[in-house]
Structure 1
Amino acid sequence: MEAMRPFVTPLTAFHDHTAPSDWLEGLVKAYVGDGLANDFYREIASFVDAETRALVLEVFADSGQAEFVVDRVRAAIEEDPKLGGRLALWGRRLVGEALSQAQRIAADRDSLAALLAGSVDRPGLDLAAIGRMLTRLTEAHTARMTALGLQA
């Protein structure tokens, strides 16, 4: 609980700013939001010890639940194509808010910045590597949006 305390405010802010207005938005939020967070945790796992990395990768392994969301969202869009535009905007809003809160966390947490960028005794990512990581996160988000039938 103590280790997570610094993250409560930004996580709460994310959820406060992205309260879904209906069931479909809730499904998209779960799929897109959890997917983005899981991708980030997998990226960060490469900077921790092998035992912790294995645990992170095990916890965030795909359990097949995404198929449930994809099937329902695609079926809803097929039934009412106008939903596609609204849900695509919602997906973009979710990723924008997630990035905003992530920046806040990184700015407030020197230890996270040191993990990503390295420190005197441990090299981390250079700016180009951070850019490549953000590209991978964006590409994974785009793939999720495409899977939902929502072009990102």
Structure 2
Amino acid sequence: MSDSPAGVVDLLGVLAYAELTAFLRLADDAATLAPTLTDRAALSGVAAAEYAHFRLLRDRLSWLGVDPEQAMEPFVASLDDWHAQTRPGNWLEALVKAYVGTGIAGDFYREAARRVDPDTRKLVNEVLAEEVRSEFVVERVRAALAENPRLTGKLALWARRMVGEALSQGHRLAAARPDLALLLVSTAPAADAAFADEEDQDGRDAAADLVEIGRLFARLTEQHGRRMAALGLVPGP
């Protein structure tokens, strides 16, 4: 039995399943949508990195005395539903999803990781590093838009739809997993919030929590705007 706070286990569990599904989806996109062997190899490399991240999270859960499958199971339906609602129809849609969709999910987990113990926070930030993915996607999407600017509107609409689905799923997830939601809205110091006394947690005002969740999703939307600008899908700041 793990002595780790439930919110920490939830965070590692949802992130582990997110990385596992990212690996599976990216590998499938590489095999079925990549227009060249070079692109197939490059996206396969990104997929392999996601699987390596999954293994780190799985091993961390095991080290904590938690069954990784049990930790991931509460999030399977939600994440599978998001992927079903945002299945790309072509190569460029797959790239935008890999950068924009995965990026806003990563922002969500980073917000939660601000309020957990330092070791967990370090691991979460490590597995969410997106430099390789962003460089790969931005280069190819910008080149495609330079060649055919008419694609801009369609890809921007696709990205907005995808993020709308992600935010909707995030709201439902926060409502269903109160310990994870507490990490997102707690005003306690980052290093101590995950270990706050149960009495203090129970005493939080529900209305204030909803306000904090609203602010959280506003920050996620702002980060999304920066990624859209990096891709050339909206004007930069």
**Residue-by-residue CA offset, 1:105-130 (whole Å, 9 max, x unaligned):** 12222222333345632469755543
From 122, 126, 149, give the equivalent of 2:232.
149
Give the alignment's Cα RMSD to 1 decimal: 2.1
Following the alignment from structure 1 to structure 2, what is the Cα–Cα distance between the partners of residues 131 and 111? Answer: 17
Return 5+ residue gaps in structure 1 as ranges.
none
Give the conservation status (yes or no) of the 8 Å contact 2:112–2:180: no
Amino acid of the residue matched to residue 174 of structure 2? A
TM-score (norm 2): 0.59
Residue 199 of structure 2 is matched in structure 1 by: 120
Secondary structure at the residue paired with 1:47?
A: coil
Residue 137 of structure 1 is matched in structure 2 by: 220
Larger of the two Rg values belongs to structure? 2
Following the alignment from structure 2 to structure 1, what is the Cα–Cα distance between the partners of residues 161 and 86? Answer: 8
**Residue-by-residue CA offset, 1:19-62 (whole Å, 9 max, x unaligned):** 10100000000001111111111110012111111111122123
Secondary structure at the residue paired with 2:131?
A: coil
Amino acid of the residue matched to residue 120 of structure 1? E
Q: Greater relative contact order: 1 or 2 (C-alpha under 8 angstroms, separation 6 or more)? A: 1
Amino acid of the residue matched to residue 136 of structure 1? R
Residue 25 of structure 1 is matched in structure 2 by: 93
- Describe the shift of the 1:92–1:67 C-alpha distance in structure 2 as closer, same or farther (beyond 3 A): same
Following the alignment from structure 2 to structure 1, what is the Cα–Cα distance between the partners of residues 111 and 76? Answer: 21
For these two proteins, the number of residue pairs brought into alignment is 152
Identity score, percent: 57
Amino acid of the residue matched to residue 61 of structure 1? A
Give the conservation status (yes or no) of the 8 Å contact 2:141–2:231: yes
Secondary structure at the residue paired with 1:2?
A: helix
